[in-house]
Chain A
Amino acid sequence: MATKKAMLIDLTLCVGCNACQDACKIENKLPEGEEHELSSTAYTALNEYNGVYVRRMCQHCVDPTCASVCPVGAFTKTPEGPVLYDESKCIGCRYCMQACPFQVPRYQWTSTYPKVMKCKFCAERQAQGLQPACAEACPTGATTYGNRDELVREAYDRIKAEPEKYVNKVYGVEEVGGTSILYLSSVPFEQLGFKTNLQSTALPMLTWNVLSKIPNVVTVGGVMLYGIWWITNRRKEVEEYEKKQQELERRGNGNNH
């Protein structure tokens, strides 16, 4: 089995230099220029909350909602971690955007043949044994890349070492079943625009619970409907038959007279 890769983003180390976004834009050939929101031209962006910089990007969920909702399977979760989008399949229903719990996918609204845009976790670079462009560019070590197990351990170690500095939570360990991007912070996450009301199990189960019942609905429903039809139809036939019998009898009696 492939080892799961991850990135640990320690917000206490981020100085807001924007090197990650610059590197990302070069790597993904996106138009230059600083942006402070994810967009169809920014796969990552820094938000500032009273001096704390928060880097947003696709979380590369362990069980990604986007991959489960796409009708044509345009998203795939690779065993190593990256969640990849195949534009040639996409029909543009934008269910992925509606469903992503982190509101990550962006759309090329101005295009007449639009794509969904989001971070690729530099899958090609990873395949070559390189680290993602943003992690490489980060001058302070705020973004580090590695194996997920090790980074989770590292994150808890940092909290243990400096409990008065960090809030006691590693964001991304259990959110919607876990993500490949982990965060450490000194400020409660809800004050930094993180969604803290997410459930700890993967969202796709919510719909799968219903979808998996379809075969039952179809077979039980089909048999039931057929049964009802059979009964009501039979009843009608019997009625008609009896009517005819009576008619015949009446005629028979008439002939006798």
Chain B
Amino acid sequence: MQNILSRLSVWKVIAILILASGAVAAYVRVTQGLGASTNMNDSFPWGLWIGFDVLCGVGLAAGGFTVAAIVYIFNIKRFEPIVRPTILTAFMGYLLVIVGLMFDLGRPFQIWHAIIMWNPRSVMFEVAWCVMLYTTVLALEFSPVVLEKFKMKKTMHVIHKVSVPLIIIGVLLSTLHQSSLGSLFLIVPEKLHGLWYSPYLPVFFYVSAIAVGCAMVIFESFLSSRAFKKGLEMNLLTEIGRVSVVMLAIYTTMKIVDLLDRHALSLLFQPTPETYFYWLEISVGVLLPMVLLSIRKIREHQTGLFASATMMIIGFILNRMNVSITGMEGWAGKSYFPSWMELAITASIVTAGFITFYYAAKYLPIYNHEQHEPAKKELHPYVEDLLSVSQQAN
């Protein structure tokens, strides 16, 4: 017991330290501007906040739409128990994006301009709209959890009535958003290194996001099973592991075809830093987990599954950083590494996300909604369905 307590407080101390340094960094950012707080400059106008907070935040949220589609569009109801935690995870991902953007934008309080000043030729315009709309959809998708907690049945019925169109809109928006982050880089054919620049960037971003969405579901399930001392839906997670193998295989094939198409295969074997980073990304994030997860024993083993998912996530983050930073360094002729303040702010947002997730999961019916079961008769069939499935799962 003592042991657990002291371990808990270690995490608390770390969290407090991160948040405190983030607060200092935020103060400098707000009072002295981007130059004083970041290592960005005219050669490197985009740094960690775009590369990690925005590109990875959106990507790591991809589990939300994937699982929602599996359960509500494909009607594979046995995955229902993981819907709520994944949507919450997605929410946290978008939180990272929005808060990150508020720090990154030079004039954050004019962000609403994108609503009235249109430029449909801009990918960034599409991105802005996707962020706004999909965050709204996520909030609506998540609302039954809150409504259930406060027993607001009438509103719940309304949400339920529109749930299928809502999920469809969510899937479409996510598709656009994930791919548009890749499209952002289509405009820099001469700047982005040939290992990453491809006319198929939007497709790569989309497919890799689905794969990492699966990995996030596994990752998040393991963490919360430890935090809340609850069991693991190993059979479901194993299946998700299988889906991610398929996605990784599709991704690898497309990557190879693309390199062949562009006659860029030789780039793989040039002794440049870009090549090393590329191989690191591909081997850690794609090849290794693909091989590991295709072995049944590993897939069905807790540690094996968790380790593979973690590798996919690391590889994914590497990929987004490579596209937005490593791949641009050659052209810029300069290198970029984030300042401690950039790191502190990003780490703080991530920490805040973890804390929010923890408390949401603790006080809202995320994992165990049968506890909040209202009187039977008044239940809508949808809710009943939800409850019965979750009871079976428990």
Interface residues of A (CB under 8 A from B): 38-40, 65, 68-73, 89-95, 97-99, 101, 103, 106-114, 195, 197-199, 203-204, 206-208, 210-211, 214, 217-218, 221-222, 225-226, 228-229, 232-233, 235-236
Contacts and interface: CB of A to CB of B under 8 A. Distances in A.
Chain A CB within 10 Å, residue with most, of B74, B113, B121, B199:
B121
A203 B188 CA distance: 8
Contacts of A225: 69, 73, 168, 171-172
Contacts of B33: 108-112, 114
29 contacts: A40-B42, A71-B114, A71-B124, A71-B128, A72-B119, A89-B110, A90-B106, A92-B105, A93-B106, A93-B124, A94-B45, A97-B42, A98-B188, A103-B43, A107-B45, A109-B33, A109-B41, A110-B33, A114-B34, A197-B190, A206-B189, A206-B199, A207-B183, A210-B183, A210-B202, A211-B126, A217-B176, A225-B171, A226-B168
A103 B332 CA distance: 9
A89 B106 CA distance: 12
A71 B105 contact: no
Given A68-B121, A69-B122, A89 B113 contact: yes
Nearest to B76: A232
A233 B31 CA distance: 55
Contacts of A89: 110, 113, 117
B350 to A, nearest CB: 22
Contacts of B172: 217-218, 221-222, 225
A222 B168 CA distance: 7
Given A93-B105, A229-B72, A211 B190 contact: no
A101 B110 CA distance: 26
B244 interface: no
Interface string B90-132: 0000000000000011111011011001111111111110000
A225 B189 CA distance: 34
B35 A90 contact: no
Given A91-B114, A229-B75, A232-B73, A97 B45 contact: yes
A239 to B, nearest CB: 10
Closest 5 CB pairs of A and B: A92-B106, A109-B35, A232-B75, A71-B124, A97-B45
Contacts of A114: 33-34, 106-107
B175 A95 contact: no
B64 to A, nearest CB: 15
Given A97-B45, A109-B40, A91 B113 contact: yes
B46 interface: yes
A233 to B, nearest CB: 6
A232 B189 contact: no
A206 B200 CA distance: 11
B254 to A, nearest CB: 16
A65 B122 CA distance: 10
Given A107-B42, A210-B186, A211-B183, A91 B121 contact: no
Interface in B14-68: 30-36, 40-43, 45-46
A71 B119 contact: yes
Contact of B126 (A39, A65, A111, A214): A214
B232 interface: no
Contacts of B183: 207, 210-211
B187 A203 contact: yes
A106 B126 CA distance: 24
B256 interface: no
A107 B106 contact: yes
B120 A211 contact: yes
A112 B30 contact: yes
Nearest to B73: A229
B140 interface: no
Contacts of B45: 94, 97-98, 107
B164 interface: yes
Contacts of B110: 89-92
